[in-house]
Structure 1
Amino acid sequence: MASHSANLWVLLGLGLAGILLVTKKLKKAVREDLGAFVEKLLLLPPPQPAPPKAPHPLTGLSFAVSDVFDIKGYVTGFGHPDWVRTHEAASSTSPVVSTLVEGGATCVGKTVVDELGYSISGENRHYDTPTNPSSSGRVPGGSSSGAAVAVAANIVDFALGIDTVGGVRVPAGYCGILGFRSSHGVVSNAGIIPVASSLDAVGWFARDPSTLRRVGHVLLQLPFAAQRNPRQIILVDDFFQLVKIPVDRISEVVIKSAEKLFGRQLLKHENLENFFESKVPSLKDFRKRKAIADDAKIPTAKLLGNLMHLLQRHEFLQNHGDWINTVKPAADTVIPSRACENKELTDEDIETLKAIRSQMRVAIGSLLKDDGVLVIPTTPSIPPKLGSKEITSEEYQNRAASLLSIASISGCCQATVPVGHHEKCPVSVSFIARHGGDRFLLDTVETMYASMQEQASIVANSKSSRKTMSQEESAEISKEKGNQAFKERQWPKAIGCYSEAIKLSGNNATYYSNRAAAYLELGSFIQAEADCTKAIAIDKKNVKAYLRRGTAREMLGYYKEAIDDFGHALVLEPNNKRAAQSAERLRKHFQSPI
């Protein structure tokens, strides 16, 4: 009997040990994806077309989708378990998702969104808050929090989200990655749960501008065209006054980058307060409406933010009010109760809101035309701490809404671009182009990105002390830091370090050649070619510079010049396999045009 009891205790002990082991493995799995996903799945692209047809444009890329996009056979969760419980699996896949898969990308899962897609914090009590990879103790931003985290954590190459009042722009800024809100209506919203139909726009995240642009070209179904540069860059001074981050920390990066790439004559400063008051006459009418009688004297930026939230709440209730009243989600659910606080808008109010939207779109179009961008901060501060009341405070909400309202109300496209860190948290700046200027805005981001990262690093390092070191010693230290960042695949940081080395010692071919390698990784081929040319001018025997310039020229379509570069490398190193293979491949495929 005693033996039997002992065996029983042994079995129980083994069972508990097994349970603990499984629990640890499950917790590890959750930590590995940082809580970004609500469901893993696999949608594989079609086979590659046979040569000579070009491969699919998104071949080799993986992506995730926010849990507002329908995927056939899966329930679209909308950030709330009661929604999952009361809805059936989707009968078809959203055309946006299908387009990306057909374009060669692999979909690997659905990601967390805020409750009913209604917040910009990224905190979701039902599925836990995804961990911000750039600042783990702070919110990731919402509503497309999981999608941003999946990209920032290098789990996927890009991800889809919906931006209503900042659902893509805010998490991109808080997680330190690129985010793009497309012009309203240019990408189909079919198969996507609406939040507020007149504000909703499809958006996407990426870590590098090349991927952001490739995805954009597929979703926007753009034919090939030459890349365009901006002819006007307008810094909106009164909107920069809304942020708690030092203004120069953000604006100086843009100014220095624009001066370097295009010259100072493109830069312009503007206050939009008076501009919108004069160009959007319906704003004055709306001030008189009973719905915002108390706001008759508030600044235009704040008024636009209020208008955006009024429209969001009104359309949210139109779309989901019946479901809320029928299902009556958990009593502690914040979002539906907050939405229901909205006062009823009259038909006259709605018509005035529509007029404001149209007038703002026309006004911005007349200001920017086809080749201008507005530059504004993305968010009013660094990411608030998890669990703090800052992000729900009236002050934060007003500042954030003011910044986010321009693109949301007008329907214009907006890109969020990271520009380094402040107090060890990501900071970003946003570019806005006219409605329909999506291709131009994607081009602008790709053109300016590498230079902006370089300037951000220079600004961040400008206070570093070099008291007892010679310039050459400091330059070597910067180069080594760049090499380490390159090994860790932190390309922008590597560019900043190599730029600092060049600043300290500008006659070293290795610094230029190394920076070119980082530019190549970011897809900044023009900058890479220029750096290699400089390196070769300093050291005509720099084999790596010839190889890297050949690669850059190949990607730019300068095939004859690329072959010449690989040939030079072979003269210097006759046994260099990379040079030989590259030259032979180019001669084989591009001999006739050359």
Structure 2
Amino acid sequence: MRDLQQAQLEEDMVGSDAGRDDASIASASSPEPQTEPPTSPGPSRRERLRAPLATACFGRWFSRRRSKHKCQDVQRLVTKCKLEPSPAVQQRLPPPPVLSTTFVATAMFQIENLSAEHETQQSGAESNTGFSSAHAIQEAIHAGATCIGRTNTPETALGLIDPDDQRSNPAEQDGILGITASSAALVVAQQEADFALTTDHLSGARTSAACCGLYAYRPTRGTISMERVALIAGDLDAVGWICRTPDLLPRLGDAFNLPGGKSSKTELAKLILAQDLFGLWGDELTPACTATLIGCQKWAGDEVAPVSLLVYLRDSVPAAQPLMEADSAEQLMSAFGTAAGLIQQSEHVRCQSEQAGPNTSLQEAGSGIGEVDAESLEAAKQVQAELHRAMHAALSTNNGYLIIPTMPGPPIQRRQAVALCTDQHRGRMIDAARTAFAPDDDLEQFERRTFELSALATLSGVPQVTVPVRMPGHAVTSISILSLHKSDMRLLHLAAKLGPLIAEAAQDVAVAMAEEQAEYDDQHQASATGEGQQSRNASKAEKYKTAANEAFKAGDFDGAITGYSQAIQADPANPVYFSNRAMAYLKVMRFAEAKDDCDSALKLELNVKTLLRRGTSWLGLQEVDSARKDFKHVLSLEPNNRQARQELKALKESEAMFDSQDLHASNGAAEGLL
């Protein structure tokens, strides 16, 4: 086994028998320089535990083997072969269900004498290349599947994103593919094979499938044999698969004789939707969460429970606290990712040491990766143990299944649109001016958060199925379903049921969102049209007012009234036109019309001039008390207003004169009576 792993690592560094180009080999054999650890004396325990993550996030702890494939020709992605099952596997009875499918295996699976296959075919000799192939490959062949070859992508890179990868994503244009299982995902997505056998640690099958809109499965730890499979991350490694259709999931489970039983087909289950994880890093996953909830409710009804998973895990995994910089949900997920990264780093170093031999240093083995100190590793394993217990407790209630996002959003774009403006109501880019490469910080953040989500199943050892969520008009996303240890068959049957229901719900949600957007666009367009018409009307009204003002100055008050009336008809929301027409009415002694126009103007805007004109109209109508009230109102707004003071003074003098005349008349009448 050690010889296989060493040979695989050498093949990745020197070049596969498919003949990679020199640039790819040079990139693969040149590990990135390692950042020196801090030298300041006396770092805190928290700083020591977080140091590996701070210096190189997850995959950047490990040497990147860049793949420079410029096309997606399957001949470049896969080394073809034809395998027969070994006699030992052929003799096993009873045989599992026949798959009648084709598959590829990734470069981590041993296929004995693969390079001699073409010579065997040309010479006409009988092929025996399958006799020493990986046990998982033999299991699939025994079930009736046909292995068409092995992918050529190097698998020693533990990162998620290769910015130099020029291959296009069939599910999301310009979207990332992942690294470790990207070729396998492309072969399946292009329908060159029905499924692919892959390995998975913190990336691999799950992330590459999620990026390409495919289904993927990571089993309960140890349930599928790792015999003749090269290890990258030791105990974190698992054999899984990628497939296009959900119905293939339980059929493959039967072929590999997975635990969990077949009675699960009719078994009721409790579906636990981690709603907080779907909204932890923004609202990009809101449509996928909605579609998932609707799809789950179609199958399980009231047995779907949206929960806040991170609140539960914060209380159940206290060992994560030393790895957190603050008490927050994001920091808790970061702690899980840090713990998984520390264990993965330690396991990778151990695997490299075992492959190189007990007396070989890490530098001589070509690892380029430092060992994890004992204290940090112990803290990480404590997090792993507590997370394992917490997940078991959460899932053991009513045979529960946990639903989480596979990635923090759609596969990030290697090239991103740079928008000039944004629709604030919908939060959508509406005017892309140019494109640019996605910033490295965005790529690293996406990679880190994806690993944090993957860490939940990787650390706890539970099985996980990824389910694509495709919505017309939206980028492809993915959700994952986790279940109890060794309940793999129940999980696979559940995913086969839920996959089509979620796909149907995603279509409905997309239609509903499109209708909502169309309604908003119609309203926005109507509003914009109305504003444009209003602007044109206002311009026309101003022309009428200008002409009316000229007529008023010339003493043509009837002409002024006509002009102001035309302005009011064009723009009835402007109080100035009503007030000006009221003044013209006053000039021709039409007090009632003047008063009505003042009322209309004051409803639109409180104005001192309009109050004065209405006061004058009241006087013309012999309504002295109403006139006095308006003039006093003017003084409450402008205490020094001269016209209001004069009008009130005149009213007071007139009242005093009338009172004096009334008194004199009454005295004369009294004298006459006497």
- TM bracket (short chain): 0.5 to 0.7
1:317 aligns with 2:349: yes
Change (3 A) 1:64 1:194: same
Query: Which one-letter code corresponds to 1:385 in the other structure?
Result: Q
Aligned to 2:300: 262
SS at 1:425's partner residue?
Answer: coil
Query: Which one-letter code corresponds to 2:102 in the other structure?
Result: S
1:160 aligns with 2:187: no
Aligned to 2:186: 149
Aligned to 1:385: 413
SS at 1:70's partner residue?
Answer: coil
Matching residue within 484, 498, 505 for 1:448: 498
In 1: Cα distance, 2:131 partner to 2:244 partner = 32
Aligned to 2:55: none
Aligned to 2:451: 401
Matching residue within 321, 331, 351 for 1:299: 331
Give the number of equivalent residue pairs.
404
Change (3 A) 1:180 1:214: same
SS at 1:205's partner residue?
Answer: strand
Aligned to 1:356: 383
In 2: Cα distance, 1:163 partner to 1:197 partner = 11
Aligned to 1:187: 224
SS at 1:429's partner residue?
Answer: strand
Aligned to 1:434: 484
* TM-score w.r.t. length of structure 2: 0.54
In 2: Cα distance, 1:462 partner to 1:414 partner = 30
**Contact persistence 2:262–2:490 (CA under 8 A):** no
Change (3 A) 1:348 1:94: same
In 2: Cα distance, 1:245 partner to 1:207 partner = 27
Matching residue within 227, 243, 249 for 1:212: 249
In 1: Cα distance, 2:459 partner to 2:516 partner = 49
Change (3 A) 1:389 1:115: farther
**Unaligned ranges ≥5, structure 2:** 1-68, 116-128, 357-361, 415-436, 519-674
**Aligned-pair distance for 1:354?**
2.9
Matching residue within 104, 108, 118 for 1:68: 108
Change (3 A) 1:426 1:45: farther
Matching residue within 100, 114, 119 for 2:140: 100
Change (3 A) 1:431 1:212: same
Matching residue within 479, 504, 511 for 1:461: 511
Task: Map residues 18-417 of structure 1 onto 2, 5 A cutoff.
Answer: 31-33=72-74, 35-37=76-78, 39-44=79-84, 57-74=97-114, 92-113=132-153, 115-121=155-161, 130-221=167-258, 224-244=262-282, 246-263=284-301, 265-284=302-321, 287=322, 299-320=331-352, 325-326=363-364, 328=366, 340=369, 344-369=371-396, 371-386=399-414, 388-390=438-440, 393-417=443-467
Change (3 A) 1:293 1:232: closer
**Unaligned ranges ≥5, structure 1:** 1-27, 76-88, 329-335, 469-594
Any idea what the Cα deviations from partners look like across 1:270-294, whole Å, max 9, x if unmatched? 223232232234334xx1xxxx586
In 1: Cα distance, 2:318 partner to 2:475 partner = 40
Change (3 A) 1:130 1:307: same
Any idea what the Cα deviations from partners look like across 1:461-501, whole Å, max 9, x if unmatched? 22445999xxxxxxxxxxxxxxxxxxxxxxxxxxxxxxxxx
SS at 2:470's partner residue?
Answer: strand
Higher alpha-carbon deviation: 356-365 or 97-106? 356-365
Any idea what the Cα deviations from partners look like across 1:220-272, whole Å, max 9, x if unmatched? 44565451445211111221123455333111112111222221x21212223
Any idea what the Cα deviations from partners look like across 1:63-112, whole Å, max 9, x if unmatched? 0011101111248xxxxxxxxxxxxx999321111111111111111114
In 1: Cα distance, 2:283 partner to 2:203 partner = 19
Change (3 A) 1:119 1:160: same
SS at 2:412's partner residue?
Answer: coil
Change (3 A) 1:144 1:391: farther
Change (3 A) 1:389 1:309: farther
Higher alpha-carbon deviation: 240-249 or 442-451? 240-249
Aligned to 2:548: none
**Aligned-pair distance for 1:157?**
0.6
In 1: Cα distance, 2:159 partner to 2:318 partner = 30
Higher alpha-carbon deviation: 96-105 or 54-63? 54-63
In 2: Cα distance, 1:200 partner to 1:142 partner = 16
Any idea what the Cα deviations from partners look like across 1:516-541, whole Å, max 9, x if unmatched? xxxxxxxxxxxxxxxxxxxxxxxxxx
**Contact persistence 1:237–1:271 (CA under 8 A):** yes
In 1: Cα distance, 2:77 partner to 2:158 partner = 18
**Contact persistence 1:210–1:446 (CA under 8 A):** yes
In 1: Cα distance, 2:196 partner to 2:294 partner = 30
In 2: Cα distance, 1:435 partner to 1:301 partner = 22
**Aligned-pair distance for 1:30?**
5.9
In 1: Cα distance, 2:94 partner to 2:378 partner = 49
SS at 1:162's partner residue?
Answer: strand
Change (3 A) 1:91 1:293: farther
**Contact persistence 1:46–1:104 (CA under 8 A):** no
**Aligned-pair distance for 1:422?**
7.2
In 2: Cα distance, 1:270 partner to 1:418 partner = 22
**Aligned-pair distance for 1:409?**
0.8
Change (3 A) 1:384 1:300: same
Percent identical? 25
In 2: Cα distance, 1:361 partner to 1:449 partner = 26
In 2: Cα distance, 1:114 partner to 1:423 partner = 34
Q: Which has the larger radius of gyration?
A: 2
In 2: Cα distance, 1:230 partner to 1:249 partner = 26
* TM-score w.r.t. length of structure 1: 0.61
**Contact persistence 1:144–1:171 (CA under 8 A):** yes
**Aligned-pair distance for 1:357?**
2.0
**Aligned-pair distance for 1:55?**
7.6
In 1: Cα distance, 2:468 partner to 2:216 partner = 9
Any idea what the Cα deviations from partners look like across 1:26-73, whole Å, max 9, x if unmatched? xx9964428532x111114589x99xx998523420000111011112
Any idea what the Cα deviations from partners look like across 1:412-449, whole Å, max 9, x if unmatched? 11111011147653211111112222111111111112
SS at 2:82's partner residue?
Answer: strand
**Contact persistence 1:195–1:316 (CA under 8 A):** yes
Any idea what the Cα deviations from partners look like across 1:321-347, whole Å, max 9, x if unmatched? 67573365xxxxxxx65xx2x5x4333
**Contact persistence 1:236–1:376 (CA under 8 A):** yes
